[in-house]
Structure formats: structure tokens, C-alpha cells
Structure 1
Amino acid sequence: MIVTDRDKMKAIRDNARKVARFVPESIGRMIVAYISWLIPTERVLRRECKLAEPRGEQLEYMWRDGSSRVWDTERLSRKLARVMQAGTGVRVGVGRYRPIAIEMGRRIRGLVAKQLENRMEDEDDDENVEIDPTTGEPVDCGGSWNIVWDLQSTHGTRIARQHYAVHIGFPGKLQPEMIATFKEISKLWHQFLEGESAEEKGPKRKRKSQATGRQSTSGSAKTTRRKRIKTDQEVARDLDEAMADGLRTLLGPEATWRSDKQAESMRSIMSLKTGQTAINVLPTGAGKSILFMLPAVMRETGTSIVVVPFVALMEDLVTRATAMGVDCIRFRSSLNAGREGVPRAARLVVVSADIVSSAEFSSYADGLLCAGLLQRIFIDECHTVIMDIGYRAKLGELRSLHRYGCPVVLLTATLPVVLEDWFRGEMLAESAVIVRDRTTKLNCRYRIEQVKPGRGAVEKHTVDIIRQLGEQMTGRQKGVIYCRSKGQCEAIAEEIGCGFHHSGMSEKDRHEARTAWADGRGNRWIVATTGLGTGIDIEGIVAVVHMERPYGLVDFVQQTGRGGRRAGEVVESIIVHDGRPQREDGHRSFVDDINQAQMDAFISTPGCRR
């Protein structure tokens, strides 16, 4: 690792922005040998042979020659220009090389960094700028540059670095998280600069095979076609056998596919080529998670990344995957995880959507890509772009996942046909292969309860229904009540005497409320907002009650889908409302309007609602 300071004057005061660069392994070994063996040998020879010592200015430089002076920037620029002219025909010195190198960096596949050039022009002269040790970028909090981690201790990062403990093994502000990021970027440069020779070999082999093909006779061409068809059939048969073996590894020796569509979805995913996209629509409880767990136990299938919309889903997913024997980790930022360096390359990596475009995760994914490990990316519960305005704002970050060039798989239980074209366009999946199964839940009984408008009428009727259903529950059976606001959520929970779950709580409190309810500690019921309506797989949910109209049909299907997820379970789905139309929202999009219109049609349907 070579560390340099960006600013000489600030470096004197140990206040410069330090940059770490890593040389290729072969050169690194040579440098280590030079420092470890040659320099000590030189000292011994000079002492034993009584040779003159080198000038003091040369002692701290590598590859020194007693008959030559130190290379300053001007001399280095002349040498570089001479070499560049010999190799490219253009004289490029240090001054010209720097902007060219920056542009090359932008063109390196996978090397993506957020450019803050306009802001950085002013920040370069600001000695009060604080740098995020994870990304190397400034962090602005309330008008001053600070690291959020240090702000929790009621002091700024500058005070933390000057007066409190830092990692003793690393210089100044160059902490382990930032070094890990620099290392991954250096690897991308190595791949870019050293990859040319490998690329030149490929076309020659291809041309040779093409030439051989032109010399083949008509009869041999027919034989080749027959052989290729047979090979494709063998490949398909081998894939089915490998998938079946993986399924038995996950679920036991008697495991079978839950449906033909689940098997078809898995087959289409494993057949995806580089840069292709797939959409898989399977009903809730139909085993979508198997689609990304199974490749993690198959041979030679590399690493899969799963992007989930909510933190709660990460915990549930990682717990289930680990229990099934899958090599699975949850990716967390180094500051939150309390680790040094990047996490290991597991077979299944789960990451939340809010950090998927961070510099730290991008470096990690780029490292997997460079090592040839990254095989596919799954975006789970991708219907969230329809039902969550905040998540919809992250579409740009989710789209950027296509830059890795590996197959991208979009998984959902709810994608209305009327929104499919919009969804394809938003997710850059216009040409995606789609496997769609019927999402009807035959084990769900739907009921609509309309009460007369009045203060507290909906709440009172909801509580009455909950008590009636609670009397019918046995064993570990339980239920969920969905509300439209945090205030309603807490009020109903207090009335019933149960726990509640909403986004206004800390993650620790949400986890405790969720696990206590799932484990049967306390009340059979939990009151929640939409955050508990996606991806949670909990046994024994036999009642789902909505107090007032759900926001849309996609929301309703997802929330109702939390129930009846085990064989033999039947779920009661009840909506309690007073018939009044929902309040108009001027910020709604046409997607929200369609989602709500379909919900209204469902409620007003007089016959079977399946």
C-alpha cells in the first residue's frame, strides 16, 4: 500500500486528505523484496566494504542510484512524456496524464463513484471539511461537516480524531473502511490496464473457429446441428437434476417443487445469460425465496446478491437461509457493523435497498465481479415500487444494478397486468422474460364490513371483530390488524392490549415487538402499518383485519398474503370501513390512482372477490 497526501501544506500539520493506492501483486512482491532484502544487503556491503553512504536526500527514495539525483516532478514528467511518445506517438507528461487518467477511470466498467465536483471546488480550500472514513466523501450535517457516528457522541469528527482513540495501525484519517474502498478501486485499475493482452487472445481463437467452420462440408454441418440439439437437451436434463439435488439439500430428501411455475421460474433464472433480466410473479407463500437460495447450494453457481426493501426482511431472510444451511450474510456498512475491511464473499449476500448504491457496497460488488464470483442479482419484493412512494424514489439506484452485467431477477407476488408495461419501463426490463402464476389464494376467505359513518365507529367495530376472532383461535394461531396511521396503530394496540409495529419505532423495538408476537409471547394480535406487510414469513397467521380501506390492491394482496402460508391454514381477511371516499392527494401518480381504483373495485364487488 502506498499512501500519499493531497496537500503539502496540510500534510505538514497532519491535516491532509490521505490517499491509498495498491500496486499489482507481482510489483508488490518486488517492492517487499527490495525493502526486506536488498536495502539491508546494501547496508551490510557498504559497511563491510567501507563504501560512501548515499546523500541524505536519497535515503527515503526507492530504486536510488548513487550517480543520479532524485526525480522531481519536472524530470518525471519528461521521462513519462518520452515513454508515452514511444508507445502512443503522443507526448503526455504528468500534467496531461492526470485528466486523461480521470476520464479512463470513468470509463472503467464497474468503477462508479458519485461526482461532487461543484461542491468539492469550494471544499478543497476549506480546512474544516470532515471526511466520511467509509466513502472518502464529505458529510454535511446541519451546516457543518461531521460524521454521524461521531455526532452521536456529541462531538465533531475533528475533535474525535484529535482527542479520542483511533486505529493505531493506520495513518491519520485513513481508517480501515476507507483503505478497503481504495483497495477495491485499485484492483479495478489493475484489471483495466492489464486486461488488454487477454482481450487480444480471444478474437484470434474465435477467428480460428470461424475459419474451421467455413471449411466444413454440408454433411458435417448437419451432424453439427444434430449434435448441438442433443447437447442442449443434455444441458437441460443436467440442469433439472442439479436443481432437484439443490432442492433436496435445502428442504430434505422428499422435497418437490410447490408448483410447475416455481420450477419453471427456477429453470428460467438458471438459464439467463449475461445482461439478461427476468420477472417472476408467484403468489405469496409459493416459495419465491427458494429461487435465490437454491443457486447458493448448487455447484459452480457463484455468489448471488439479494436486494430487499426493508431491514426487517433482511433479518428474517438471513435467519431462514442460515437455518436451511445456506452460506448467507447480511451486508451492513462497516460503521454500523463495527468491522474493519470488507465482508467475505458468501454464496448469498443480502443487502437493503437504501445502501445498495453506496460507495462501500459498490466496491464490494465490484470486487466480487473482478474475482468472477458475482453471478446474478435478485431484487426481491419489487412490487414495492408500486405501493411505496419513498421506495419508488430509489428506482435510479436499483437501475444502476444493471451496470454489473450479470443477470438481474425481479421477484414479486403482485404485479397487476395493467401496470406491467410501466413496471418494465421503470425497471429497465422491457425485454425481460416473465414467468407469471395465478396469484389467487384459495385458502383465504374475504369479507367486507361497512359501518355507518361516525366518530370511532370503524375502530369500535374492528375491536369487536378482533375479540370474536380471538375466541376462535387455538394453539399458536395469531392475527394482524393493519392501520393507515401510527396514531391509530398505537391506539388500537392499547385498546386490545397487544404490541404494535410501525416506522416511528426504533429498529430494536420493532424487532422485539415482531419476534415476541411471532414466538407467541403475549397477545395473539399485533397492530401494524404497511412495514409489516411485505416479505414476512410467520407461521400461524389465520386472521388479517384492515381497519379502513387499504391504500391499494397491491398493498392489500401483500398484507393478506402474510396469512395462510402453511399447509392446511385458512386465513380470514376482513376490511372494516365506513364507505367514505379516501382523501385526495395532489402528489399521487397515475400508478397510485390505478392501485387505489382496483382496491375500490374489489370492495364494491358484490359476488366472489377472488
Structure 2
Amino acid sequence: TDYVWSSNTGPWETSRLSQIISRETQCWLGCRLTTLEYRHTAITIGREVVSKEFGEGTQEALTEGDLEEPEQQLESGLDLQAGRSELTGTLRYGVEMGIVSHLSHRSVQVFRDLSSKWHRFLQLSSTLPNPLTPVSVAKAAGISRQNQGSPAKSLPAQPAQDQAEPATVNDLEIQILVQKVVQKEGLITFKSPEQEIALRAILAGETPLVVVLPTGGGKSLLFMAPACLSDPGVTIVVVPFRELLKNLKTRLAEAKIPATEWIPGLSANGPAPIILVSA
């Protein structure tokens, strides 16, 4: 057969491959990966562990009498084997979270070293013997006043009389919002306690708020669920890749959540609770 994954009826469809990958990774790794997530994972592992071995032995030694030509930088063997250039591989696959799309993995390593030297020179807290202790997720999200029964102490961003009190959302209303996003009925469980804490903090109007979740951790729910409220306001979602933007548009349309893409120089097509911005 010309296909690695196939049966008597022909090659596996993407949906079947995704189901099997999700099932096996959940079983053996304890973390459910989709086809796209597995591709990023495999390429990143290959780049970090395998790629260095690909260049060895690929350049024949010069024989006596041959003119030595200027040394050329070889493309990554791992990327060439996959039928793409090294530039495409470094910019599109296994990109670290939070890195601007036009930076390669190699550039990030160089910049990290330079940044560390600047941190030491400026004596920032990250290089001091006793760095600042990070605030716990629950306290940062302001959930401690719900679970611990004591109000969280924080400075308001503006005078109290100018701030509108956010509407209280109970557990039943949260379930209804989540059901609309995932398009399923019945009791919906969160992917992690951190995801639930973050969503409750957002719906409670906590600010400032920083949420860090892993790939596949359910970050999309955090801006899609509030968009289903009766008074959703406006949420601006910055998307690093065009393919991810297309995927979000499809998911928002399936959930019947109005959204529009911001395009420089063009006016928006009417108000929408979610505005997508991409490069």
C-alpha cells in the first residue's frame, strides 16, 4: 500500500485518524492530542532530539585536488524529509506559546540568552537570590472570596463609584453558556480546575486577569462563553495564525456566535460580541 495508515477499504480518513490518535495519546500519555496537536508535538520532538543527527554524513569529504567551495548552510533534514523547507517548518510547526509568528525557534534561543544578560545587568527580580513569590491562580483570579469566604484585597482600577457591578452568573447559567459553545446538552465538565476558575473570574468581571492554559486546555471557551450572555459587550481576540483564524470562524459560526474580522482600512460589518484580529 502507498499509505502508512490504511485498511482494506483504503486510507484512513482524517476523522478516523484523529479519533485513534486522541484515544491512544489519552491512554498512553494521559493527554488527549488531536491530529494537528500531535503533528506539532512530533515535529518539535524531532527538532529537539532527532534533527541534529540528520546533517551528519550528508556532505561528502573533499578529495585531494578538489577545489574547496564556499560552505553552504544545509537545510534541516527533518523538514526536507517532510517535504517542506526549514523556514516553513520553523515558522509553522512546534512554535512556542507566546512567540511572534515571524520568529524562528533558533532566533528565540539567541534572544533568550541576550535577555538573560540584560536581566542580570539591570538586576531584575528574575536574577535575584530571592525572587518574588508568584500569586496563586485562585487568588489572582479573585475566586478566593467565593471559596474561602473572605473578600480578596485589591486596589480598584478606577474609583468605586465609576465601576458598574458585573451581573452575577450562577452555576446553571454557566452550564447553559458552556452547552451553547460546545453544542451539547446535559452536564458539561471542565477540562481542568484552572479553566473553570478562569471562566468564573471572567464572568465575575475580575480585572486585571491573566490566564495561562496549555495547548488544548480550552482557552477558546473563555471568550466564547461570555459572548453568549444577554449583554456580552465586545471581546477582541488576537489570533497569531490565519489557519487558526479560519478554524475559530467555523467554530463560532457553528455555535451561532456573531463574530467579525477586523481588517485595516475597512469598517466592521456591524456590531459583534467577538472581533478577531490576525496578521
Same fold (TM over 0.5): no
More strand by share: 1
TM-score normalized by the length of structure 2 = 0.37
More helix by share: 1
